[in-house]
Amino acid sequence: MSKSNLFHNQPNPKARAISVIFSLCILCVSVSLWFALSIAVPCSAQLPTKFITEYRLDRTVVEIPFSYVRNQIIVTGKADDKQELTFLFDTGATLPVIDTALGLRGTHIADTQFREAEGLTKAESVWISEIQLSGDKGRATVNNVAVLLVDLGNISRMMGQKIDAIIGAGWMAGYITEIDYQKKVLRFRSPRSNFLEGREPDNQRSFLYDLKPINSKASISCLMVTGKIDSGYDYDFLLDTGFGGYASVAHSAARESGMYTNETPRIESFASGVTRKFRSNKIRAPFFMLGKINLSGRVVQIDVRNNDEYGQTGIIGNRFLQNYRVTLDYQRKKLLLERVTEREELDDTERRVLGITVRLDGRVVSVDKVVRNSPAALAGVRPGDVILAINRQKVEMIGMNRAVTMIGQPDGETVLEMKRGADPNFGTGGSPMSVTIVPLSPLDWK
């Protein structure tokens, strides 16, 4: 028999903002393809007292299916009379965000600005009547909820599909939320159930964390978990399912802790907010602990955002969280991670390569460039070397296209038979030589 639950959250209209620049509280929305943003919303606006946010479940446990696209959680729901909307499910967003293109209107709260990596963009905050997620196993509904109206066109382009809205903490704060990445299901329970009561973590496959709000004065805030990026350097990470990466660390904190130095191997990457892009770097973390979980050696993103503001938090994203069943008890500020996988998905930057590019000249394949410090460079390969065979397979037998693929995407240890000083068009003459190269990620080059 289904069961109905009703519980309330009264917004605090007197909550003061923590931002020293804008007198705004932070709304963090991070999206896949390594793009993240911080959105600021005025907290000091006098909200209508008639609005009381109500959280409703039509049964004890509501299950909502989701699709997992580019390491992003995508669900379908509605906002007021707008049906079949595509939502990005984002624990790192304070307020829900609605695309201005929908033309949805609500009770105006304030004109505001959201702060991205490289500047400010105007937005409007409003009250709307309802945001609902539903599936074959129930409905989760929030009535009278504050949202931001923002142009989400850039996020849609980056995701490769239309994103109509973003679910934030202001919507999920009244529930115990479970994310089952394996079954691709979100589960919602009433906080009255105290689902985590009596759960004792073994710190081997299950881990329990205390969370803290990013803004302790706000009635609803993003939540953070404390980790270490050096044995003596505690650091807070935003719990952010809107971030498609593994983890990020602010440039200033990475420098101060010694995680990131001038000599640290890195790969340049790009990140993007709602309207702007910014550069970042990926490195292999020499030391990284999240409670009892040792993440040392994993690839993290070093971000310079908001002018590298001192004290900026890091981010824990879906590439890490997807290895666990995640239970978030917002009201009690608890997080339970239960390990469900043995082998984690590698970051794109961990792809092992030889460190050479080739060119096709006439009937031969020759080395065009050799990257400094690469496995090929250490093995003695030079530009101009003519490649005759790869893993004892002659180039003339396997064809040039296959040869290029084998060099660009090596499958383990690679033996190249070459001639140095040979005719670049016919491969004749020159001195024969053979080298064995073990491909490595550029992050592991010395």
Note whether 30 and 156 are same-domain residues: yes
pLDDT in the model for residue 91: 95
Domain presence at residue 141: yes
pLDDT tens digits for range 367-398:
999 999 999 999 999 999 999 999 999 998 99
pLDDT tens digits for range 249-304:
999 999 999 999 999 999 988 766 655 666 789 999 999 999 999 999 999 999 88
Note whether 280 and 413 are same-domain residues: no
Structural domain span for residue 338: 206-349
| Whether the predicted pLDDT of 84 surpasses 80 | yes
pLDDT tens digits for range 94-149:
889 999 999 998 999 999 876 655 567 788 999 999 999 999 999 999 999 999 99
pLDDT in the model for residue 219: 84
DSSP letter string over 409-438? S--SSEEEEEEES--TTT--SSEEEEEEE-
Phi, psi for residue 224 in degrees, rounded to 5: -125, 150
Report how far residue 85's alpha carbon sits from residue 165's, in angstroms, rounded to the nearest whole number.
Answer: 7
Note whether 17 and 124 are same-domain residues: yes
Note whether 327 and 356 are same-domain residues: no
DSSP three-state, residue 66 = coil
Distances (CA, A) of 290 to 73, 196, 342, 413: 22, 20, 18, 34
DSSP 366: E
Mean pLDDT (whole number) for 72-83: 96
Give the mean pLDDT of the chain.
85
pLDDT in the model for residue 138: 96
| Whether the predicted pLDDT of 26 surpasses 50 | no
Domain boundary among 319, 349, 379: 349
Note whether 288 and 267 are same-domain residues: yes
pLDDT in the model for residue 260: 95
Domain presence at residue 134: yes
Note whether 103 and 252 are same-domain residues: no
Note whether 58 and 111 are same-domain residues: yes
Mean pLDDT (whole number) for 21-42: 30
Domain boundary among 166, 193, 220: 193
Q: Which two tokens stand for residue 380?
A: 């003695």
pLDDT in the model for residue 119: 60
DSSP 347: P
Note whether 257 and 230 are same-domain residues: yes
Note whether 152 and 48 are same-domain residues: yes
pLDDT in the model for residue 5: 41
Domain presence at residue 201: no
Distances (CA, A) of 13 to 110, 147, 223: 13, 15, 20
pTM of the model: 0.82
pLDDT in the model for residue 162: 95
Note whether 34 and 164 are same-domain residues: yes
pLDDT in the model for residue 22: 24
| Whether the predicted pLDDT of 234 surpasses 70 | yes
| Whether the predicted pLDDT of 17 surpasses 60 | no
pLDDT tens digits for range 394-436:
998 999 999 999 999 999 999 999 999 877 766 678 889 999 9
DSSP 346: P
pLDDT in the model for residue 21: 23
pLDDT tens digits for range 154-199:
889 888 999 999 999 999 999 999 999 999 999 999 999 888 988 8
Report how far residue 402's alpha carbon sits from residue 393's, in angstroms, rounded to the nearest whole number.
Answer: 11
pLDDT in the model for residue 81: 93
| Count of structural domains within the chain | 3
pLDDT tens digits for range 42-58:
333 344 445 789 999 99
Report how far residue 321's alpha carbon sits from residue 177's, in angstroms, rounded to the nearest whole number.
Answer: 14
Domain presence at residue 281: yes
Share of the chain above pLDDT 90, in %: 66
Domain boundary among 143, 172, 193: 193
Note whether 92 and 159 are same-domain residues: yes
